[in-house]
Structure 1
Amino acid sequence: MVDAVILAGGEARRMHGCDKGLLLLNEQPLVQHVITRIAPQVDAVWISANRHVDVYQRFGYPVIRDATDDYLGPLAGVLAGLQHAQGEWVLTVPCDTPSLPENLVAQMLAASAGKDVVVAAAERVHATVMLCRRNLVNNLAEFLARGERKVQVWQAQQNSAIAQFDDESAFANLNTPEQLLPKQ
C-alpha cells in the first residue's frame, strides 16, 4: 500500500509569499494538477500544508500540518506524512510539479527491492520526489531534532536507491510567477 503526500507547506519565497499550490496553471490550482497525476497511482492522498488549510481541504483529501510553525523545510512535511500515513510506503511530491509521470509509483516501487528510500531522477536527482518506508518516522524525527534540514543528507544516510526516468520535463518545478504564464 502506498500513500502520497503532496508537499504544499513551504513559504514560497520565490512566488513572493503566494501559496504555490493554490496558484493557477491553465485555470486550475497547481495542487489539482498534482492530485490528478498522483491519485490514480496510490491508495491514499494527503496534502501537507501550513497555510490556507481550509482551502486545501476543499480538494477532498486530508490536510496535515507540520509539527511546528517554524517552516523547517520539506522534511517537516515528509515527517508529517510518515506520522499520518497508513501504507507501508509514502510517496512525497512537491505541489509545483504538475507533469509528474503517470508511471511514477510503479517505477519507484520497481526500484525499491531491499531499499528504504527511493528517489526520482532524470537528468538530475529530484530529492523531494521520494518513496520511503513509513517505518522511518522515528529516524526522520531524530534527524530533524538534531537541527538537520537537508533532504539529500537524510536520504544519503538511508538504505536508498535511485529510480531513473527518461523525461526531465516531467519533474519541472514551477518556482516563479513567470513560469505560470501561458506560453506565447
Structure 2
Amino acid sequence: MKSIIILCGGRSRRMGKDKGSFVLNDKPMLLYVLNAIKDITNEIVLVLRDQKQINKYKPILENVSTSIKIVTDETKDQGPLVGILTGLSHIDSEYAQILPCDSPFISESFVLKMFKIAETKQFDAVVPIWDDGHIEPLHSIYRKDVLDIVRDLIKNERYDVKSLIDNLNVKYVDVEYLDKTTMSFQNINTINDFEGT
C-alpha cells in the first residue's frame, strides 16, 4: 500500500500566504502535487493547520476526484515535524512518502523510486541527499513505527526534522538518481521563486 502525506500547514512568512494555494499558471500548487500522485497512491493524507485552513482549501479541492483524508496538526504552529507526526498517525500503511505542497513539479517517477526502496523494509526512512550533503527531509519516506521517536522529540521541544533523521536507520539516496532534472525538489518559497516559474 502506498500512502502519501502532503504537508500544507505552513505558510510563507515572506509572502504571508498558504503555499499550497499559490496559483501557478492558473492552478493552485497543491493541485500539481495531487495530479502527480493520484494514479500511484492508495491513500492521501493532507495535513492542514486548523479548521480555518480547511475551509480555505475546500474550494480548491471540490473538483478533485481523488479521495483525500484531511487532518489538522496535533499541535499548532510547531513546524513540519508535528505535521509528520499528525500524518503518520492517520495512515493505514507501514510507511508514507512525505511531500510539501509547495513543490509543484513533483514527478511520479520520483515517488515510485522512493517507494521501491522503502518496500525492501530495511530502513526507518528513505531520504534524498544532494552531492553537498544537504538532505530533503520533507521529500522523504518514514515508517509509521517511528511515531514514538517523533513524540519524544516534540516532548523535549526538538522540532527540527533533522533531529528525527539522526535517530533513525536511514537510506540516503542521491537526488539525481531519483529525478535527473531535480525539479521534484524545487520549492516555491518567495515571490521571486513564484514569479520565476
What TM-score, normalized by structure 2, do the two folds share? 0.84
* Secondary structure of the structure 2 residue equivalent to 1:91: strand
Q: Report whether the alignment pairs 1:176 with 2:190.
A: yes
AA partner of residue 127 (structure 2): V
The residue that corresponds to 1:26 in the other structure is: 25
1:117 & 1:147 partners in 2: Cα distance? 22
Alignment of 1:15-164 (within 5 A): 15=15, 17-50=16-49, 51-58=52-59, 59=61, 60=64, 61-69=68-76, 71-112=77-118, 113=120, 114-123=122-131, 124-164=134-174
Aligned residue-pair number: 181
The corresponding residue for 2:9 is 9
Rounded Cα–Cα distance in structure 1 between residues aligned with 2:111 and 2:56? 27
**Counterparts of 2:87 and 2:183, CA distance in 1:** 26
Matched letter for residue 195 of structure 2: L
Partner Cα separation in structure 2 for residue 149 and residue 177 of structure 1: 26
Cα separation, 2, equivalents of 1:179 and 1:138: 36
CA distance in structure 2 between the aligned counterparts of 1:91 and 1:111, rounded to whole angstroms:
11
Structure 1 residue 104: deviation in Å? 2.2
Unaligned 5+ runs, structure 1: none
Range with greater deviation from structure 2 (163-172 or 92-101)? 163-172
Other structure's SS at 2:140 match: strand
Aligned counterparts of 1:101 and 1:175: Cα–Cα separation in 2: 19
Q: Whole-Å Cα distance in 2 between the matches of residues 101 and 172 of structure 1?
A: 11
Shift of 1:122: 4.3
Structure 1 vs Structure 2 CA RMSD: 1.7
- What's the TM-score once normalised by structure 1's chain length? 0.90
2:108 partner SS: coil
SS in 1 for 2:138: strand
> 2: distance between equivalents of 1:73 and 1:110?
28
